[in-house]
A = this chain, B = another copy of it.
């Protein structure tokens, strides 16, 4: 029976997800994760495995952590695997993999999945299955609380399905790092493997849809930019020499006040927030340094850019106003790219063709930001087509919460929908 052979065994899928769940690593620190994906891909006999600068453009990475953070995770991965050959290539935050399966002439089809985890401490409660079944995070303080463990499984499982089949063309799977930081999408979209992709599928598990529900096209991702801002002034004793400082706190205040007052935009919704501020002098010292973490969003890429540019202008002029220097570091960014109608139809057919049990939502709004959109945009700009699929998983707790989990049945559903959809364009 074809359907049997198309999907890998459910046991394999669960096994993969379980292991990756146990070893969550944050963005650009997915060293062990990258090694393990490479090992599985070798196992699956894919034609090409690209890592490091071969997988994505290092200069476009955003939000790469400080060296000491990278080192700590790297050391950990070194102690847990034997693949120094791989590790050496990905040292310094060069995680991520692109796998390629080739089978003669034909279109190029891509699948993008993300692989990083979150800085959330996983629940140890009995009603949280990963805890009660013994595959809770072993990296205390970090957790696959958004389902990227399932996404890696989708990637490996879909390759396993597709590779067994007779098809013409090329199949690429993008294992993208640092999605939670909105830091890896742009880098992978700027890498060497996206340009010839004719059809791209992305997928997300969970999203509060029940198991068995599939959304053929998730649209309306909010475009987002995240910035870390530092004002540098000059200290002085506030009592003795109030005019001799260059007050970084005053610069920050002036910027922040005006950033919040950025005009609304006629074209649609915008957002702005300053969640973190910091200056750390004694009360009697004029601050020589103040920092802020700022986030803006827009209903469209243009609206996000309007807000991002306004923040930058406000920061720079406020610094100048108070004779400080300002540094703005873009630490994450995503855009909006809606799904292509043809692929939405294709996925819809895949879902409805199936004899039983799946429930189709053609299109729905993705109430979040997602840097898969960079890859979708790159494909679209090259004349290709892309869609972003939702795979319901009856998650018992919201994404980014300590009890996030998914119904494992969703793993095989995801792999089936993805591999069938991929094969429809490869055959």
| Interface size, A (range) | 35 or more
Chain B residue contacts of A293, Cβ below 8 A? 282-283
Least Cβ–Cβ distance between A67 and chain B, in angstroms: 22
B258-A264 in contact (CB<8A)? no
Chain B residue contacts of A275, Cβ below 8 A? 238, 249, 279, 281-287
- A213-255 toward B: CB 8 Å interface, digit per residue (1/0)? 0000000001010100000000000111111110101101110
A364 in the interface (beta carbon within 8 A)? no
A317 in the interface (beta carbon within 8 A)? yes
- A292-330 toward B: CB 8 Å interface, digit per residue (1/0)? 011101000000001000000110011011110000000
A270 in the interface (beta carbon within 8 A)? yes
A369-B239 in contact (CB<8A)? yes
B273-A244 in contact (CB<8A)? no
| A245 to B274 alpha-carbon distance, docked (Å) | 12
| A320 to B267 alpha-carbon distance, docked (Å) | 24
A261-B257 in contact (CB<8A)? yes
Least Cβ–Cβ distance between A50 and chain B, in angstroms: 32
| A269 to B245 alpha-carbon distance, docked (Å) | 17
| Contact (A239, B224) CB under 8 Å given A273-B285, A279-B277 | yes
A295-B242 in contact (CB<8A)? no
Chain B residue contacts of A285, Cβ below 8 A? 273, 275
Which of B258, B273, B287 contacts A238 (CB under 8 A)?
B273
Least Cβ–Cβ distance between A295 and chain B, in angstroms: 4
Chain B residue contacts of A238, Cβ below 8 A? 271-273, 275, 295, 297
Chain B residue contacts of A276, Cβ below 8 A? 279-283, 287
| A282 to B239 alpha-carbon distance, docked (Å) | 32
Chain B residue contacts of A267, Cβ below 8 A? 243
Closest residue of B by beta carbon distance from A222: B239
Chain B residue contacts of A271, Cβ below 8 A? 238-239, 242, 264
Chain B residue contacts of A254, Cβ below 8 A? 254, 257-258
A265 in the interface (beta carbon within 8 A)? yes
Least Cβ–Cβ distance between A307 and chain B, in angstroms: 10
B249-A277 in contact (CB<8A)? yes
B284-A273 in contact (CB<8A)? yes
B269-A226 in contact (CB<8A)? no
Least Cβ–Cβ distance between A331 and chain B, in angstroms: 8
| A263 to B238 alpha-carbon distance, docked (Å) | 9
A290 in the interface (beta carbon within 8 A)? yes
| A241 to B263 alpha-carbon distance, docked (Å) | 10
A45 in the interface (beta carbon within 8 A)? no
Query: Chain A interface (Cβ within 8 Å of chain B)?
Result: 222, 224, 226, 238-245, 247, 249-250, 252-254, 256-258, 260-261, 263-267, 269-287, 290, 293-295, 297, 306, 313-314, 317-318, 320-323, 367-369
